Amino acid sequence: MSGGAATRLHPPAGPPASSSTAAPAHRHTGLRRHLHHHHSAPRPPAPPPAGPPASSSTAAPAHRPPRPLVSSMWATLRAITSSRLMFWWGRRAPAEARSSRHSYSREERGELHRTSYLLYLKNSDGKYISPLHDIPLHDEVDKALFNMVVEIPRWKNAKMEIATKMPLNPIKQDVKKGEVRYIANIFPYKGYIWNYGALPQTWEDPSHKDPNTNYCGDNDPIDVCEIGSKVFSYGDVIQVKVLGALALIDEGEMDWKIIAINQDDPDAQMFNDIDDVRRYKPGYLEATVNWFRLYKVPDGKPENLLGFNGEFKDREFALGVIMSTHQYWCSLIYNKTEGGDINCKNVSIRNSPFCCSHEEAKSLVLSAPEYVKPSPIPEEVNKWHFIKN
């Protein structure tokens, strides 16, 4: 294998202990010892009084204990100093996490909203990568989080997706009958009602029948609906907290939808499972079910089916679905299973027969058309469709 440094896949680890709350014990011990040393040090003997010496029965001891005011001051200093250290240790971890995470950039080729458009991703070294194969499933810093590749920002209509059949799997707009595809607006919605994307290093195997629904996979990475407040851009890579899952049966294929929230969202700490979405974003899950059930009806297709009668599964169930699709991807990338027309070219997976050099990856990207300023979106894309339930 040629090219840059490769990575070895390991089974996913559980969430690590948080560094933001466990302060090193020896630092506190040393601080207390230091403060106690100054607090309990004996005072120098007071000078003899000017008057006659006091009798032995009333003479003050040579070493008086610290006065209450001084003792209170030292106790306050200890508390303030300890609190500052704890605050510093607690705030240091997020900054370290952000600095140690991999960053990704984008490069556009062709013309947006045309069949020529391709969006390639690059790693922090500026090397071209596959968003499907070279971005880890788990966040590098916190294994409880997952990387998500944003394919379609909220409110957008263009049906962008990771091109699983192309080398390096760029993001491109889906094409139907020679024309780029847009999702219809179903009243009262506009485009996609979440930031929509996929988890890298997952694959819904079309030869595997899901034991929960009895349907086979749709031959794509597993989809994610991110419900946070920020609207992202095409090709953004974000870290998300998984909350639950919805079982969509899309034209006879199993098409799991993972519900998640951006870990940097201001309200992310409020969301830990699917019930929290019902509690803090009432109506969002019901709208999600309705959207997936109807979104193809304006194209003349029947309503989609939903497993479990449209009920959302919880976080634990969703994690099991994700890890099973990751195992299918592992078999795919190491050529242990037949992947059909899925292109597995990558630059980082050690021992994968599909691994290529960074030079080869660069030549593939540079062979694509140069970027062209996009033309306006057709006006009919903004049309609203009214459907009777």
How do residues 101-116 score in pLDDT, each as one tens digit? 789 999 999 999 999 9
Residues 70, 77: Cα–Cα separation, whole Å: 11
The rounded distance, in Å, linking the Cα atoms of 360 and 27 is 51
pLDDT of residue 362: 98
Three-state SS at 185? strand
CA–CA distance from 45 to each of 62, 67, 360 (Å)? 6, 15, 83
How much is the mean pLDDT over the chain?
83
Write out pLDDT tens, residues 331-345: 999 999 999 999 999
Alpha helices (H) in 151-307, listed in sequence order: 274-280, 284-294
DSSP string across 235-262: T-EEEEEEEEEEEEEETTEEEEEEEEEE
What was the pLDDT predicted at 98?
A: 56
pLDDT at 17 over 70: no
